[in-house]
Amino acid sequence: MRLFATLLCAAAAVALLAKPETFEVGKGAFLLNGEPFVVRAAELHYPRIPAPYWEHRIRMCKALGMNAICLYVFWNFHEREPGVFDFSGNADVARFCRLAQKHGMYVIVRPGPYVCAEWEMGGLPWWLLRKKDVRLRSNDPFYLDRVGRFLKRLGRELAPLQLPRGGNIIMVQVENEYGAYATDKSHVANIRDSLRAAGFTDVPLFQCDWASTFRRNALDDLVWTLNFGTGTDIDGQFRALREARPDTPLMCSEYWSGWFDHWGRRHETRDADTMVRGIRDMLDRGISFSLYMTHGGTTFGWWGGANNPAYSAMCSSYDYDAPIDEAGHATPKYAKLRALLQKHVKHPLPEPPAPPPVITVPTFTLDRAISLFDALPAPRTSPQIRPMEDFGQGWGTILYVTHLPRAAKQGETLALDEVHDWAQVFADGRLLARLDRRKKEFSLTLPTDLPAGTRLDILVEAMGRVNFGASIHDRKGITERVTLGGDTLTDWQVFNLPPEHALVAAKAAQAGARPQGPAYWVGTFELDETGDTFLDLRDWGKGMVWVNGIALGRFWEIGPQQTLFLPGCWLRKGRNEVIVLDLKGPRAPTLRGFDRPILDQLRTPDLSVHRESGRTLNLSRETPTLEADLPPGGGWQTLAFPKPARGRHLCVEIRSAWQEGPVAIAEIELLGPDGTPLPREDWGVTFASSVDPQVANATADKVYDLQESTFWQTSPHAKAPHAIVLDLGAAVEASAIRLLPRVEQGSPGQPKRLRVFLKPAPFRL
């Protein structure tokens, strides 16, 4: 009888564990098994964490006080070639979800298909661009067909893990911040229908956007959530949503804990107390949230994306100034947030797991090398220049070679339309110039005469496809043509150098070789014990690193990132091999491993200052297109011009503000004659009266970067008037200007009185 009773209890326990759960949308609250439930989600990205460390990071989030994991699914990480799917190893997203379930964590899945995330092309596969007329994130039949195929395949992995089926997935997102891209409810509906067809039918579907854009594509049968960052006025963000849906559960689906870093810009940080205060305010109001990022990790390999406008590629580190740092260690933010969340759970939080061991690696030499030009694959021929995608290449470097059909004179212009993203131009092996898309450098003036027949080599590195806005149609290499004095050059040889080519080239590296310029460098180091470390790249120029065949990421001497995270799980006792592709050449071919990263060392003048020393703006002879006072209170403000204006050069002069201290603008838009916003992809800053050196990247180009949470802010010591001058790239006709002050509580630095000038000719500087 006792044995029978024991077996009966065991059977009952199994039945209880197997009992399906429910997650539903109730009146004013989410309902877990019928009871109100506040989601405290930690955003993690499984490709940015080595698979052996997944469980550690999940446990860190559990110990922080989170009850769910929120994750993007990166389409291009799983389907690198059309129809070839990979859900193994670091791409095994189902295993990641099951590990979260093992530790009692629910999962929110965000499968896009577009995800942004500072990830290559926002998660969309590069091979979509092989179709010349493809229209991404639209109802283009080709695009929707490929989306449907991917989501159907993803459904095989994740649909069985929905909560009512015994899994732990409680919500699934439809697209991502689509209101910041377009207004097309039918497209959002098509993505919704594709997700349902893929099997995501048992949990709520939701769409996220900003407070200013959520109405543009809101569908009645989806949950609506908002994204915003630290310091935001919580009640203000949700005011319009509460009015539109008084009974809906409220959720901040991305509460930005920090920000991401760009090459050539200062390291980004956000205040810990401000972050914690915002989460406290949401919890006090019963508002669910997902902390983006709780742990950012690393954008390994070639997966880093870019912003445009202005073009700016992302660093390999995705530390994000998050509570859990790049290597999985708790930060002061972690401690402060854990103390808050402990007050909102009934039981003591588990202790955080010990971090993986950290080691240093003594200096070692990469003693074998080979010039990139001596390690080329077989060429392809092409009468005309074409982008990288046309040659079946997704990432890496591409070399275009031709011979000049005529003699070229010193002073002639060699134009590359356009360089995507960083090019070196050689004439018979001699470096003529380096061209940087960030600086809009698409041409060079020949420094010397070149005879007919001169070999012209153009080596182009793809730095990351744009992951936000209309510029996601971002083809790489040279996208249109190369002209000499206006004449188009033809008859090209093309050499494809994808990242995998480095592993082949390394086999041909020679001991003792010291090539100049672009080259592959190979070396080894020995370990008695393995552990995490950070490779010091400060003696190197620009390129990528592989260790034991795994691509760690990009490096660039300009910073701010100067080290690459090398996880100990990818190292082995004994010999470890390192390959470095340096497109410029090292100062010394040596490396070492530190026990901490260097993420904040900028070694080049910041391009974003936008003002040469002593340069001033003279508006004394200019006639304003508009003079106006802005009302207080924040939010987008639209100022109609007295009559339509035409011009290429725009100046906004701020003569006073609503508060003392620095002045700030988050976004500027011009409206065309029909009242719709004009494209901003070609805008550039020609002058800014000042920038605030104490705020990372509070630079003038933030006013057209399409990100409402970033802003231009003047120096606290600068006196009015303040001014910004923009080159719009071409003459436009405008009927109005729209301005957005900072979106934080109180709209700090909000302009009050201003003048606007729009004219064909440049302003006097």
Give the integer Cα–Cα distance in Å for 343 and 338: 9
CA 689, CA 491: separation in Å to the nearest integer? 47
Tell me which residue of 301, 297, 288 sits closest to 255, measured CA to CA.
Answer: 288
For residues 73 and 679, give the distance between their C-alpha atoms in angstroms, rounded to a whole number: 29
User: Can 254 be counted among the known catalytic residues?
Assistant: yes
Owner of token pair 């007919």: 452
CB 636 within 8 A of CB 742: no
- CB contact set of 12 (below 8 Å; sequence gap of 6+): none
Q: Longest Cα pair distance anywhere in the chain, in angstroms?
A: 103
Rounded to whole angstroms, the Cα distance separating 422 from 461 reads 5
Please state, in angstroms and rounded to a whole number, the distance separating the CA atoms of residues 349 and 724. 50
**Tokens at residue 140, please?**
């283009």
21-59: buried (b, 16+ CB within 10 Å) or exposed (e) per residue? bebbbeeebbebeeeebbbbbbbbbbbbbbbebbbbbbb
Based on the number of CB atoms within 10 Å of its own CB, is 609 exposed (0-12), middle (13-18) or buried (19 or more)? middle
Token representation of residue 286? 């019963």
d(Cα 615, Cα 157) in Å, to the nearest integer? 59
Give the residue from 305, 284, 231 showing the smallest Cα distance to 47: 305
> What residues contact residue 377 under an 8 Å CB cut-off, 6+ apart?
495, 496, 497, 501, 504
Q: How far apart are CA 422 and CA 418, in angstroms?
A: 10
Round to whole Å and give the CA distance between 524 and 528. 14
User: Which tokens hold the place of 615?
Assistant: 């340069």
- CA torsion, ordered 599, 45, 355, 323, to nearest 10 deg: 60
Indicate the SS3 state at residue 608.
helix
Closest CA to 323 of 350, 345, 294: 294
Given the residues 43, 157, 254, 667, select the one marked as catalytic: 254
Measured CA to CA, the distance from residue 698 to residue 81 in angstroms comes to 39
Return the closest-CA partner of residue 497 out of 474, 467, 518: 518
Q: Which helix (H) or strand (E) holds 56?
A: helix 54-64
Nearest to 248, CA basis, from 40, 27, 31, 37: 27
C-alpha 463/C-alpha 120 separation (Å) is 9
What sign does the CA torsion over 151, 308, 469, 706 have? positive
Of 454, 365, 369, 364, residue with least CA distance to 407:
454
- Joined tokens for residue 602: 């900028």
Active site (annotated) includes residue 500:
no
Beta strands of 421-547 (E only): which ranges?
422-427, 430-436, 443-445, 455-461, 477-484, 487-488, 492-497, 510-511, 519-527, 533-536, 542-547
Mind telling me the catalytic residues? 177, 254
